[in-house]
């Protein structure tokens, strides 16, 4: 069978070239993400750093690890999904060849072994090309993370010898997983049915396809239901995974949509010959259209779910912070600021402090984590933050307040380290979980008295009604402090969060989105390359070459519309869930619609699909029709 697989590769190299490229990129992307993840998970910090600088570096590494973990999951999913879709399409294109093989005496098991052998060969070739390609992708990916301030400029990726075995497993694994379902289906089709395109060979919506499509849609619905009750940290992966599950389910069921779209096309273009031909081609080439739309569907769902989720969290964070801040000025200083300034009603000094909390699980195993706390005066803090619970009045002495997301309960004693001192702090208050960025821990200022973080203190100032804000600001500036209005401070905070979200989008979609675009182009090229005889028949019946190209362009446009429409539908449910979660947590009605990403991806889709389909159709119609119909031109 391996000899036959090699012969098939040589004979059908144009058909397998796209699959090899997809596996190569999948191996490269997964290998790169894994190597950077391992290096960032155990960083080597330079000696002599201050506690604040060391904590800032650790925060950056932690954010990079979280991002890389998400990217690794997305890259692995895209690799398996796209390879499976591509291989299913290539196997469907070869069903007549496989039928002839069955007629010459090959059994079902031999057909399955042939296809699995091809998958293993495909995986090995993809691995051999993917390992060196992964080194190139690694440089780009690391440079992207450094350029977006997730990793320090001196970050270097440490090579791991075991990555070669992992890459080989990834390459062969995704190829074999991708071909399993297609091999099983191909072996069950009767040879005569495949030759005449009847019965099981002509059926696209099989029982397993119905089952898997409904299963994924059911999983997506479950995730949408769970998202509103989750915290903001859990809401992001739940929403994205819900969109991905919905995208997979809709892509599996997309053959149901293609004929409907063809009929809609017929309503608009029924008087056009090219329109009627495109409608007929969509109706007869359901499998081809569904395979082309699948990677585009997933790409749209991924982009819209990520951008919509991050945008919704940013909007909710902006609204919640404005609702929970009752101040007029913000004074930033490295030292103490003047007290009893005329015109000031309340001044709440808030100093960020790095502290270490040690907790124990059921087996008394210690787990230590660094947290960023705020050292505050409870009384003044509660006055400028109206959503703070009244129980904050108990925040005195060796106490602390923490959000509900922590494992400790009211009254528990927590082992903590602040400013080099080992303390046991009693949980005096439980703070409500806040949207993306609110303080997770509050401690009295006397607890942080010996902390040498060197962090600047922000003092939120509320003025007496009728006081001159300019005069008050001038008094603080005289003492060397930096003063901004509360509106400017809130805008700067929201802008910083939105910039962070933009960086996250750039990392997650910069490479994985490009991978999906390559898959879209590959699907269009494979589909067009296998239609040379069909295009030749159309030209022999009287169509000009330009008309055939325009017909292919119309078909591709409809398929792209199907992919964008279903991808938008896949993202709509998870975005509704994340909107409800943020509304619950922020106490405001917030729903963010990612119009800019949607319009950008729509424009990019139209450009990519149009250019690719036109170039592919021009290439497929270059030989004279008579040579293709006679079986000579290739």
**Is residue 199 scored above 50 in pLDDT?**
no
∠ CA 337-342-343, nearest 5°, is 105
Pairwise CA distance, residues 130 & 28, whole Å:
5
Helix (H, G, I), strand (E, B) or coil at 463: strand
CA dist list (Å): 20 to 24, 25, 416, 486: 6, 9, 54, 56
Of the spans 40-44, 107-111, 596-600, which averages the highest pLDDT? 596-600
> How deeply is 132 buried, as exposed, middle or buried, from its count of CB atoms within 10 A (0-12, 13-18, 19+)?
exposed
pLDDT-wise least confident of 6-15, 363-372, 542-551, 571-580: 6-15
Provide the total of helices (H) and of strands (E) in the chain, helices listed first. 19, 9
> How deeply is 152 buried, as exposed, middle or buried, from its count of CB atoms within 10 A (0-12, 13-18, 19+)?
middle
The percentage of the chain sitting over the pLDDT mark of 70, rounded to a whole number, equals: 78
Give 442-480 pLDDT, tens digit per residue.
888 888 765 555 568 888 989 998 888 889 889 888 888
Three-state DSSP string of 349-405: EEEEEEEEEEEECCCCCEEEEEEEEEEECHHHHHHHCCCCCHHHHHCCCCEEEEECC
pLDDT confidence of residue 196: 52
Of the spans 427-436, 473-482, 526-535, which averages the highest pLDDT? 473-482
Domain boundaries, the chain: 1-203, 338-480
∠ CA 88-90-96, nearest 5°, is 105
Pairwise CA distance, residues 570 & 344, whole Å:
52
Q: What share of the chain is helix, strand, coil (3-state, %, to 5)?
A: 65, 10, 20
Q: Which two tokens stand for residue 596?
A: 């800019």
Pairwise CA distance, residues 525 & 512, whole Å:
20
CA dist list (Å): 491 to 317, 554, 604: 11, 46, 31
| Residue recorded with tokens 């070459």 | 545
Pairwise CA distance, residues 205 & 212, whole Å:
11
Helix (H, G, I), strand (E, B) or coil at 427: strand
pLDDT confidence of residue 25: 84
Give 168-179 pLDDT, tens digit per residue.
888 888 778 767
Pairwise CA distance, residues 372 & 442, whole Å:
9
> In sequence order, what are the residues at sequence separation of 6 or more whose Cβ sits closer than 8 angstroms to the Cβ of residue 364?
none
> In sequence order, what are the residues at sequence separation of 6 or more whose Cβ sits closer than 8 angstroms to the Cβ of residue 630?
none
pLDDT-wise least confident of 100-104, 128-132, 321-325: 100-104
Single pTM value for the model: 0.76
Pairwise CA distance, residues 578 & 508, whole Å:
19
pLDDT confidence of residue 269: 64
Give 610-624 pLDDT, tens digit per residue.
888 888 888 888 877
Give 212-267 pLDDT, tens digit per residue.
888 888 988 888 888 877 766 677 778 888 888 888 888 888 778 777 766 776 67
Give 474-515 pLDDT, tens digit per residue.
988 888 888 899 888 888 888 877 787 777 777 777 777 777
Considering the chain, what is the average pLDDT of its residues?
A: 78
**Is residue 202 scored above 50 in pLDDT?**
no
Residue 173 CA from chain centroid, whole number: 22
pLDDT confidence of residue 633: 43
> In sequence order, what are the residues at sequence separation of 6 or more whose Cβ sits closer than 8 angstroms to the Cβ of residue 32?
134, 135, 137, 138, 141
**Is residue 393 scored above 80 in pLDDT?**
no
pLDDT confidence of residue 243: 85
Beta strands (DSSP E) in 566-610 are none
Pairwise CA distance, residues 151 & 146, whole Å:
5
Which whole number is the average pLDDT over 430-435? 72
Q: Which two tokens stand for residue 456?
A: 């600047």
pLDDT confidence of residue 200: 47
* Range 97-131 burial, b when 16+ CB lie within 10 A, else e: ebbebbeeebeeeebbbbbbbbbbbbbebbbbbbb
pLDDT-wise least confident of 14-18, 69-73, 355-359: 14-18
**Is residue 634 scored above 50 in pLDDT?**
no
pLDDT confidence of residue 3: 66
Which whole number is the average pLDDT over 313-330? 83
pLDDT confidence of residue 41: 79
| Residue recorded with tokens 């070239």 | 17
Which whole number is the average pLDDT over 52-61? 66
Pairwise CA distance, residues 334 & 512, whole Å:
43
Indicate the pLDDT class of residue 198, thresholds 50, 70 and 90. Answer: very low
């Amino acid at each position: 069978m391996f000899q036959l697989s090699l012969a098939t590769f040589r004979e059908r190299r144009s058909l397998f070239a796209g699959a090899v490229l997809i596996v190569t990129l999948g191996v490269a992307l997964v290998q790169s993400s894994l190597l950077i993840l391992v290096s960032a998970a155990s960083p080597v910090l330079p000696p002599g750093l201050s506690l604040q600088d060391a904590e800032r570096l650790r925060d950056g590494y932690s954010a990079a690890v979280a991002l890389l973990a998400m990217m690794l999951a997305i890259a692995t999913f895209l690799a398996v999904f796209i390879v499976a879709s591509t291989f299913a399409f290539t196997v469907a294109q070869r069903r007549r060849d496989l039928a002839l093989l069955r007629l010459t005496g090959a059994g079902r098991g031999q057909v399955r072994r042939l296809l699995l052998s091809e998958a293993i060969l495909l995986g090995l070739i993809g691995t051999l090309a993917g390992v060196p390609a992964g080194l190139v992708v690694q440089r780009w990916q690391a440079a992207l993370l450094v350029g977006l301030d997730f990793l320090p400029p001196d970050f270097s990726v440490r090579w791991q010898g075991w990555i070669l075995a992992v890459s080989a497993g990834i390459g062969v694994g995704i190829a074999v997983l991708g071909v399993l379902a297609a091999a099983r289906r191909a072996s069950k089709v009767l040879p005569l049915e495949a030759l005449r395109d009847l019965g099981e060979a002509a059926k696209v919506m099989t029982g397993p396809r119905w089952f898997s499509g409904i299963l994924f849609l059911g999983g997506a619905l479950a995730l949408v239901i769970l998202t509103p009750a989750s915290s903001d940290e859990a809401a992001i992966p739940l929403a994205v995974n819900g969109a991905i599950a919905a995208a997979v389910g809709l892509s599996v069921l997309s053959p149901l949509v293609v004929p409907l779209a063809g009929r809609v096309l017929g309503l608009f273009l029924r008087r056009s010959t090219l329109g009627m031909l495109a409608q007929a081609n969509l109706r007869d080439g359901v499998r081809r259209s569904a395979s082309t739309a699948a990677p585009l569907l997933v790409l749209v769902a991924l982009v819209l779910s990520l951008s919509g989720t991050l945008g919704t969290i940013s909007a909710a964070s902006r609204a919640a912070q404005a609702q929970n801040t009752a101040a007029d000025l913000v004074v930033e200083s490295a030292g103490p600021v003047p007290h009893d300034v005329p015109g000031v009603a309340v001044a709440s000094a808030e100093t960020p402090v790095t502290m270490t909390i040690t907790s124990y699980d059921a087996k008394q195993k210690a787990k230590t984590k660094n947290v960023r706390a705020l050292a505050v005066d409870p009384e003044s803090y509660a006055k400028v933050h109206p959503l703070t619970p009244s129980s904050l009045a108990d925040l005195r002495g060796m106490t602390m307040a923490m959000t509900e997301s922590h494992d400790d309960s009211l009254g528990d004693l927590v082992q903590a380290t602040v400013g080099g001192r080992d303390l046991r702090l009693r949980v005096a208050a439980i703070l409500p979980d806040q949207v993306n960025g609110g303080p997770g821990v509050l401690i009295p200022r006397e607890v942080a008295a010996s902390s040498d973080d060197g962090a600047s203190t922000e003092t939120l100032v509320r003025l007496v009604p009728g006081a001159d804000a300019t005069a008050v600001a001038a008094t603080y500036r005289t003492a060397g402090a930096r003063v901004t209005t509360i509106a400017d401070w809130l805008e700067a905070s929201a802008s910083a969060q939105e910039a962070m979200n933009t960086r996250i989008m750039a990392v997650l979609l910069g490479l994985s989105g490009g991978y999906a675009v390559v898959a879209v182009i590959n699907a269009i090229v494979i589909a067009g390359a296998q239609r040379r005889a069909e295009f030749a028949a159309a030209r022999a019946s009287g169509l000009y070459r330009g008309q055939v190209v325009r017909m292919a362009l119309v078909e591709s446009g409809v398929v792209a519309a199907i992919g964008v429409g279903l991808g938008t539908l896949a993202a709509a449910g998870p975005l509704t869930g994340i909107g409800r979660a943020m509304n619950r947590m922020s106490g405001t009605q917030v729903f963010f619609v990612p119009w800019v990403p949607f319009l950008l991806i729509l424009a990019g889709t139209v450009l990519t699909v149009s250019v690719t389909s036109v170039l592919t159709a021009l290439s497929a119609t270059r030989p004279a029709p008579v040579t293709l119909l006679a079986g000579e031109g290739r």
